[in-house]
Amino acid sequence: MRGGTTKETFLVAFSALEAGGRLGGPPWLRDLRRAAIGRFAERGLPTPRDEEWKYTSIAPIAETEFDLGADGTDDDLTEAAIAPFCLSPTWSRIVFVNGRYSAKLSSIGLLPRGVRIESLGEALIADAAALRPHLIDSATVEAADAFAELNAAFWRDGALLHVSASASVADPVHLLFVTVPGPARVDHPRSLIVLEPESHAVVVESHVSLAEDAHLTNAMTETIVGARASLEHHKIQLEGRRAFHVGRTRFRQAPGSRVRSCSVTFGGRLVRNNVHARLGGAGAHCTLSGLFVIGGRQHVDTHTVIDHITPQAMSRQLYKGILDGRARGVFNGRVIVRPGANGTDAHQTNKNLLLSDDVEVDSKPQLEIFADDVKCSHGAADGQLAEDAVFYLKSRGLDEVAARTLLTFGFANEVLGRIRVEPVRAWLESLLTARLEGGRVTAEGFEEAVEPATSDRSR
Amino acid sequence: MLSIRGLRAGVEGKEILRGIDLEVRAGEVHAVMGPNGSGKSTLAQVLAGHPAFTVTAGEVIYEGRNLLQMPPEERAREGVFLAFQYPVEIPGVASAQFLKAGVNEIRTHRGLEELDAVDFLELLKEKLKLVDMDPSFMSRPVNEGFSGGEKKRNEILQMALLDPKLAVLDETDSGLDIDALRIIAGGINQLRRPDNAIILVTHYQRMLGYVTPDRVHVLLAGRIVKSGGKALALELEAKGYDWLEERSEVSA
């Protein structure tokens, strides 16, 4: 079949992979996969008629002819090739190339007792029963969409981080997902992070492309944060100019747990970030932040859902975007306060800086409050740099470009400055500085409309 | 150092300065006083090059050059400094980063080498003492969450770091308690030198109790209606501006 990717191509690919026994896992997982693809078959790919996809058309994905059967890592990939993305040699890192675990490139140091980092695919072979309670049915995923179902049906590998009760990983754990040059492929990495009660971990999850080929990363990261455990999660998306990225990060929080999460998007042609926090215990706190800095014809859509299920939980959201060229941004921040979730304290802020007249942003808060005695607020602002601030900087000797660059940096740095892991913050600041050369977003290669990935497609 | 001749300026077609003449020589401190709405802040902003104001007539010669033709950043690099009445908050930019950027722009312009982080920190520590500011302010975003007094101290800190030839202090004394006023005035006095000049724009006389001006000018309805020595400030304190307003109407 030529001419793009449709519901049918996914269904055909699933049947072929399954018939060939290429989607691993025990029988119960196969049942979950079949159920997920069944729901996908009913649902189909999202269209702008879906409220959740109103401002994000997946047409560029549908128009790309993907090789859905592609598999396999790249054994020739060297450490030097991924070195620019590795922040510290002392951190444990687990590397996935084209969605598959690379033992060669991974480097897992001495871990404290009670800490496991490994390939989820391999863990599933060895220890499926233990993982079963955590590999939940996508049918129970709140706000599931076609991509969540596809991930549930197709996923093969991803990272597993398990931290036992009261254990703690001193250094960040780096999950690195690399896509190498080759035909347009789709990967569905699924990672699982389990923090048992009173444990602590810092995770850096980054997604990069080593080539400009089209590819789709449909990633799912599930985190289970036990009572009084704390997690700092950073997701960094630096994929290429023809990359499509649909990411879903879920935090399931027990009483007294703490989550700090920051998602930074620089790369990708079309990106959808879903961040979902389920505050299922009294005193749970989550602080979510995000930043995208995009230009050319990049499109970044962030959908957050904060679900306050139990009383006395707190959520904070700060999402910012910088748009230049003809970029488009979408923010939809949904906060649900369930009946009985009294004493909820939720705050959401979305701000976008528009550096060109041709950009467009759609920002929508969505508060659904079914409890009493709650504090829920939101604020949104889209606009240009404040001229009085530009003048203030000029009056100190900075020229127009230097003034605007510093102010734009500052706008973004309100998010990056909150990152507590110094090497991550410093690295992102240097990436940001490089991207803001001359006070504009340098999005080289992102300017043109992306032409279809294959030249011989008939239309 | 500075000659203002027949300066007329306004905003959005409304004339605010209606013919200002002022001579400032190196080593002098001039106080420009006047009631609200007299044009004091406009004069300060026009000297710094604020784009909201349009100059319609007159000239400003600074160190032999036409100041009005210089963009704001060039004025700053050539040694003109404005302490803002309402310093701007800049979220996300650490004070130290902002100050270092300004210092290095001006050093480069003067043919000096840029300061690296270590040398800059040395300089910063020294100048912080001048305004009795805690170094912890320097890792905080510029002016964000600063009290009124802290913002004003931060302005004088910038003055100390940028080492201007001509400093225009726009109501730096407003909103300060007596301790902050004393600290800021002390800082200004330490920055007074034979080779620089200061214009203090102020509503009240109280700052002048600490920083003794060489000349005092009274600005009313966009014109300097009276100039004199420091005694004039005391006279204004005692009598207010009304008696001058009447006189200026008579003479107009």
Residues of A whose CB is below 8 A from B101: 393, 396, 398, 402, 406
β-bridge pairing B54-62 and B65-66: antiparallel
CA separation for the pair B213, B215 (Å, rounded): 5
**pLDDT value of residue B237:** 81
CA separation for the pair B27, A345 (Å, rounded): 58
Cβ <8 Å between A395 and B105: no
Residue B49's pLDDT band, with cuts at 50, 70 and 90, is very high
Over residues B54-80, mean pLDDT: 96
Q: Rounded to 5 degrees, what are φ and ψ at A326?
A: -115, 30
Distances in Å between the Cα of B36 and the Cα atoms of A242, A263, B221 are 59, 49, 10
Is residue A350's pLDDT more than 80?
yes
Q: Is A142 on the interface with B (CB under 8 A)?
A: no
Q: What are the tens digits of pLDDT across the range A210-240?
A: 988 899 999 999 999 999 999 999 999 999 9
Cβ <8 Å between B71 and A406: no
C-beta of residue B130 within 8 angstroms of C-beta of residue B43 = no
Over residues A20-34, mean pLDDT: 87
Q: What are the tens digits of pLDDT across the range B123-166?
A: 999 999 988 899 999 999 999 999 998 999 999 999 999 999 99
For A260, the token pair is 């700090």
**pLDDT value of residue A132:** 84
Strand partners, B165: none
- Greatest CA separation for chain B: 60
CATH code, domain with B19: 3.40.50.300
Residues of B whose CB is below 8 A from A407: 90, 93
Q: Number of structural domains, chain B?
A: 1
CB pairs under 8 A between A and B: 79
Cβ <8 Å between A414 and B109: no
Greater pLDDT, A256 or A455: A256
Cβ <8 Å between B101 and A406: yes
C-beta of residue A193 within 8 angstroms of C-beta of residue A161 = yes
Using CA coordinates, name the residue in chain A closest to B83.
A395
Is residue B251's pLDDT more than 80?
no
Length of chain B: 252
**pLDDT value of residue A1:** 43
CA separation for the pair A342, A359 (Å, rounded): 40
Secondary structure letter of residue A67 according to DSSP = B
- Give which of B89, B34, B67 is closest to B200, Cα–Cα: B34
**pLDDT value of residue A59:** 93
Is residue A342's pLDDT more than 70?
yes
Cβ <8 Å between A398 and B102: yes
CA separation for the pair A135, A150 (Å, rounded): 15
CA separation for the pair A147, A271 (Å, rounded): 12
Residues of B whose CB is below 8 A from A406: 90, 93, 97-98, 101
Q: Rounded to 5 degrees, what are φ and ψ at B228?
A: -170, -165
Q: Is B167 on the interface with A (CB under 8 A)?
A: no
Q: What is the CA radius of gyration of chain B?
A: 18
Dihedral over Cα of B57, B58, B63, B64: its sign: positive
pTM confidence score: 0.92
- Give which of A257, A309, A308, A261 is closest to A284, Cα–Cα: A257
Residue of A351, A385, A392 to mutate, testing the B interface (most B Cβ within 10 Å of its Cβ):
A392
For B61, the token pair is 């010669």
Q: What are the tens digits of pLDDT across the range A102-135?
A: 999 999 988 899 999 999 999 988 888 888 888 7
Q: Is A357 on the interface with B (CB under 8 A)?
A: no
Q: What are the tens digits of pLDDT across the range B16-32?
A: 999 999 999 999 999 99
Using CA coordinates, name the residue in chain A closest to B155.
A396
Cβ <8 Å between A397 and B162: yes
What is the rounded average pLDDT for all residues in chain A?
91
Residues of B whose CB is below 8 A from A403: 73
Q: Is A433 on the interface with B (CB under 8 A)?
A: no
C-beta of residue B199 within 8 angstroms of C-beta of residue B44 = yes
Greater pLDDT, B131 or A284: A284
Burial of A306 (0-12, 13-18, 19+ CB in 10 A): buried
Over residues A1-14, mean pLDDT: 85
Burial of A449 (0-12, 13-18, 19+ CB in 10 A): exposed
Residue B207's pLDDT band, with cuts at 50, 70 and 90, is confident
**pLDDT value of residue B250:** 47
Low-confidence winner among A247-251, A297-301, A426-430, B171-175 (lowest mean pLDDT): B171-175
- Partner-chain residue, chosen from A387, A397, A407, that has the shortest CB–CB distance to B76: A397
**pLDDT value of residue A456:** 39
Domain that holds residue B239: 2-251
**pLDDT value of residue A143:** 62
**Three-class SS state of A451:** coil
Chain centroid to CA A109: how far? Answer: 26
Burial of B3 (0-12, 13-18, 19+ CB in 10 A): middle
Residue A76's pLDDT band, with cuts at 50, 70 and 90, is confident
CA separation for the pair A51, A416 (Å, rounded): 31
Is residue A451's pLDDT more than 60?
no
Is residue A453's pLDDT more than 60?
no
For A248, the token pair is 């879903």
Q: Is B72 on the interface with A (CB under 8 A)?
A: yes
Give A373 to chain B, closest Cα distance, Å. 29
Using CA coordinates, name the residue in chain B closest to A417.
B92
Secondary structure letter of residue B88 according to DSSP = P
Cβ <8 Å between B105 and A396: yes
Residue A142's pLDDT band, with cuts at 50, 70 and 90, is low
Over residues B194-204, mean pLDDT: 92
**pLDDT value of residue B176:** 86
β-bridge pairing A200-209 and A230-238: parallel
For B30, the token pair is 């001039």
Is residue B246's pLDDT more than 80?
no
Using CA coordinates, name the residue in chain B closest to A410.
B92
∠ CA A289-A294-A296, nearest 5°, is: 165
C-beta of residue A269 within 8 angstroms of C-beta of residue A63 = no
Using CA coordinates, name the residue in chain B closest to A399.
B73
CA separation for the pair A379, A367 (Å, rounded): 12
What is the rounded average pLDDT for all residues in chain B?
91
Is residue B75's pLDDT more than 70?
yes
Strand partners, B224: B219
Greater pLDDT, A338 or B204: A338
Is residue A43's pLDDT more than 80?
yes
Q: Which residues contact B49 (CB under 8 A, 6 or more apart)?
A: A394, A395, B70, B71, B72, B75
Cβ <8 Å between B92 and A411: yes
Residue A2's pLDDT band, with cuts at 50, 70 and 90, is low
